[in-house]
A = this chain, B = another copy of it.
Amino acid sequence: MKQGLITDRQKEVLRYRKQGLTQQQIADLIHTSKANICTIEKAAVENIRKAKETLEFLYTLDATHIYTIRTGTDVLDAVKEIFTEAEKIHIKVRYDTISLVNRMRESVPERIRGRFVRENIDVYVNEDGELYFG
């Protein structure tokens, strides 16, 4: 209840990995299988991803939801739409088309595949024209 997301087991593995040990070496050290080390490490990385996403969400609380990019939309079309919707509420987005696409890809990589959106993306903008995707 008091601890963060990462379990002690996960921390253990991450530390050993940082030291450069292989999964097999760690498995021997803590007496389990390398497959298990792999699983634990993956869970740890996933937890870190979740933590980041959670804090990202906080920004959307101060921002306005201006648009939902629907599954199947072409990324470039989505970007055009974002500019349009931001204009409607008199906010100038602080990205040009190219860097906006990059920002999107960085923020929600798993929801974009090639030129197309694989899963709905909610778009938020704050007063400064900064964008968040949730």
Most buried by B among A6, A14, A50, A110: A50
Whole-angstrom distance between the Cβ of A12 and the nearest chain B Cβ: 12
- The tally of residues in A whose CB lies under 8 Å from a CB in B reads 23
Q: Which of A30-38, A54-62, A72-80, A89-97 contacts B (4 or more CB under 8 A)?
A: A54-62
For residue A46, which residue of chain B has the nearest CB?
B1
In the complex, whether A5 has a CB less than 8 A from a CB of chain B is yes
Chain B proximity mask over A65-83: 1 for CB below 8 Å, otherwise 0:
0000000000000000000
For residue A58, which residue of chain B has the nearest CB?
B48
B51 and A14 contact, CB distance less than 8 A: no
B54 and A6 contact, CB distance less than 8 A: yes
